[in-house]
Amino acid sequence: MKQLKLTGFVIFLFCVPESLTLPTQPQDVDDVSITQKFIEENVGYITIIAFAQYIQEVSFEEVEVLVKAMTEYRDKCLGDVTLPMCYKLANDVLLENICALEGLPQKHNFSHCCSKVDLERKLCFFHNKKADVGFLPPLPTLDPEEKCQTYKNNRESFLNNYIYEVSRRNPFVFAPTLLTVVARFEEMTKTCCEEQDKANCFRTKAEPVIRYLKASSSFQKNVCGALMKFGLQVLESINVAILSQKFPKIEFKELTSLLKDVSSKYDGCCEGDAMQCIHERSKVMSHICSKQDSISSKIKECCEKKMPERGECIISSNKDDRPKDLALREVKFTESENVCEERDANQTIFMAEFLYEHSRRHPELSIPELLRIAGVYEDLLKECCHTENPPDCYRHAEYKFNETTEKSLKIVQRECAHFQDLGKDDLKYYYLIKFTKIAPQVSTEELTFLGKEMVTALATCCTLSEEFACVDNLMDLVLGELCGINENRNINPDVDHCCKTNFAFRRPCFEGLEADKTYVPPSTPQDLFTFHTDLCQAHNEELQKKKDRFLVNLVKRRPELTDEALRSLLTAFTDVVVKCCKAEGPEACFNEEGPKVTAKSQAA
């Protein structure tokens, strides 16, 4: 992928410690060189991504000033590469330049981060990121003809502005993913600008790009949230399950070697260190591609691609076929006489191997379910290894595993039954009410997003043969959105308990939640039932958003109402909109009908 080269290329990219790690294999030399060249060619984008994600309020003009500051730094290092400042970590230099810009820390309220140093400063900027981007203005939209003309006149500014707007609205998405998004956006722009019906082309081709970005964002936030809240061991368990399912023929020794690279990748990526994220992602993909014969038969074409398509291709590739000689069960964990001794020798390695063996044998299970089974097995051994006859105790482990899966399966079947019975719209209202009652402290925008995502998950999965894994995986991602990425996010005691106690059993925990009893609703403002003619101008999608917001805000103010009463008020609201938008004087109609909805809500 050839990307633009901004004048802001900084020579320290050649000098940062991660680039100076001497490779030990010829393949490593080539990969480091390729990665370095990629960073050189895309440093403009990388700089914009880092700035816009750390400080989402920053204007595009301020970003350009920051890029200029980096250019001046480049000039100093070009003049004398031995200067101490030229050997600093790339992300440290970015943050120093942000803090050095006059008035910017005070204007955007991050001066407290600038008073810190090293890791504390980086983490402070990370915690400054806001998942709820409702404070940002609506995403600018251009007429298709205008969009094509702008691209033709100034490609560099057009694409820079695009990656700036996308990055600040997706502050936790990894830099390689955003680089892929901008590449696909440019490819789409080139194609659609040649079409006669440009609007339809943009609309059609934008959908898969948006889906890709949303799916990547959900997964990355979920995994990073696990790292931030539960630590490295839970992150490694997730990665063991994912890699073992995806590459079932990989040997455990090779898996543990790959795992070191994968886990180290998340340190930089999750904290927003764009440079380190790109370096570590490339290292992981190089590792996988250098061992294709022993890892997977499905990634040959992916490994022939360039950055960052290579990494994205491997991540989205299909699971490899299960080895034909792989037994349906690994008996060493349930029938061996020495299970407790092997566990006690190295509990971390033992549990990782169990998860590896179980995951590669069960592609039909979700990642959360595999983690639940590992948790059940670990608890069982804690109990069994203190009995007089441990083998007789843990010999029934398979029954415990099946029991756990049956419980999870019933939840999925119930959710899919809801989907079949209610349909998309009614199901969405069901989730909007449910989420708002259990987490009324969450913003209206976020709650409407969560409700919509739950419906998308069920609509995507409930007709598939792999229904269970699909539903469980996607719905867990939605709960990950609710729990958030920062470990210091607090909603209410019950939700916080589910989010922070046990990653694997998060979804069963949420199943048992009821309306938050600690919540004190605000007084119902008059404007909740004051309707205006803007409802008549709203297109179908925009009107639907207004209905969703009305329902969420209604639940926030009247959480004691039953689901039926809330739905009745939503129907009343919809009826008023339909009636008044057909009336000769819509505003007068709204003034007359609005109080009737108010009275109905008070009587409910």
In terms of Cα–Cα distance, which of 120, 131, 126 is closest to 221? 131
Q: How many helices (H) does the chain have, and how many strands (E)?
A: 31, 0
Q: pLDDT: is 231 or 9 the higher one?
A: 231
Q: Which of 81-90, 187-196, 204-213 has the lowest mean pLDDT?
A: 81-90
In terms of Cα–Cα distance, which of 119, 314, 130, 148 is closest to 221? 130
Indicate the angle between helix axes 198-230 and 175-192, nearest 10 degrees.
180
Q: Write down the pLDDT at residue 1.
A: 38
Q: What is the pLDDT of residues 128-165, one digit of tens each?
A: 898 888 888 888 888 899 999 999 999 989 999 999 99
Q: What Cα–Cα distance (Å) separates residue 249 from each residue in 153, 173, 243, 321, 356?
A: 51, 30, 10, 8, 11
Q: What H or E segment, with its residue span, contains residue 561?
A: none
Share the mean pLDDT of the chain. 86
| pLDDT of 126 strictly over 80 | yes
Rg (CA), the chain: 27
Q: Which of 23-37, 163-177, 250-264 has the lowest mean pLDDT?
A: 23-37
* 419 residue type, one letter: F
In terms of Cα–Cα distance, which of 439, 97, 40, 72 is closest to 278? 40
Whether the Cβ atoms of residue 87 and residue 13 lie closer than 8 Å to each other: no
Annotated binding-site residues for Zn(2+) read 273
Whether the Cβ atoms of residue 256 and residue 351 lie closer than 8 Å to each other: no
Token readout for 332 is: 């060493």
| pLDDT of 5 strictly over 80 | no
Annotated binding-site residues read 273
Exposure string of 237-275, with b = 16+ CB inside 10 Å and e = fewer, is bbbbbbbbbbbbbbeeebbeebbebbbbbbebbbbbbbb
Cα distance between residue 259 and residue 356, in whole Å: 12
Q: Write down the pLDDT at residue 423.
A: 86
Give residue 568's pLDDT band: very low, low, confident or very high (50, 70, 90). Answer: very high
| pLDDT of 379 strictly over 70 | yes
In terms of Cα–Cα distance, which of 236, 224, 209, 160 is closest to 3? 160
Cβ neighbors of 17 (< 8 A, separation 6 or more) are 87, 89
Whether the Cβ atoms of residue 604 and residue 569 lie closer than 8 Å to each other: yes
Half-sphere exposure of 182 (CA within 13 A, CB side): 30
In terms of Cα–Cα distance, which of 573, 518, 584, 504 is closest to 543? 573
The model scores a pTM over 0.95: no
Q: Write down the pLDDT at residue 75.
A: 67
Token readout for 262 is: 């994968």
Which domains are delineated in the chain?
27-220 (1.10.246.10), 228-321 (1.10.246.10), 329-516 (1.10.246.10), 533-603 (1.10.246.10)
488 burial level (CB within 10 Å; 0-12, 13-18, 19+): exposed
What are the two backbone dihedrals, phi and then psi, of residue 337, each rounded to the nearest 5 degrees? -80, -15
Q: Which of 187-196, 206-215, 523-532 has the lowest mean pLDDT?
A: 523-532
Residues of the chain with pLDDT > 90, as a percent, come to: 55
Give residue 566's pLDDT band: very low, low, confident or very high (50, 70, 90). Answer: very high
Q: Write down the pLDDT at residue 526.
A: 58
In terms of Cα–Cα distance, which of 507, 481, 487, 521 is closest to 601? 521
| pLDDT of 353 strictly over 90 | yes
> Averaged over 475-490, what is the pLDDT?
88
